């Protein structure tokens, strides 16, 4: 995710330009990001993931396989 603006804590200035002349020379400039709303999985998506993992591994699966599938789906939905 790219920063939406930059903040100079030494003088309290904010700018969308990282190299803004408003910032203190040699000051530390911090990136600012937007906060997005977390998107979870529906019960239907969880059921589909469980079935997909179970079928792929023919009924014998490790719990970690389901966790990895859930993690991948959450990453996909929250990028």
Confidence (pLDDT) at 59: 58
Task: Please state which of the ranges 30-34, 36-40, 55-59, 67-71 shows the lowest mean pLDDT.
Answer: 55-59
Question: Does the global pTM surpass 0.85?
Answer: no
pLDDT at 15 over 90: yes
Q: What digits encode the pLDDT tens for the residues 19-36? A: 999 898 887 899 998 888
Q: What is the SS3 assignment for 14?
A: strand
In percent, how much of the chain has pLDDT > 90? 32
Whether 38 contacts 77, CB under 8 Å: no
Alpha-carbon distance of 4 to 11, in angstroms, equals: 19
């Amino acid at each position: 995710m790219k920063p939406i603006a930059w903040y100079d804590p030494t003088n309290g200035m904010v700018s969308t330009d990282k190299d803004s002349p408003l910032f203190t020379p040699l000051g530390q400039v911090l990136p600012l990001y937007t906060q997005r709303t977390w998107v979870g999985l529906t019960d239907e998506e969880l059921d589909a993931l469980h079935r997909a993992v179970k079928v792929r591994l023919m009924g014998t699966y490790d719990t970690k396989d389901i966790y990895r599938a859930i993690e991948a789906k959450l990453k996909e939905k929250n990028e």
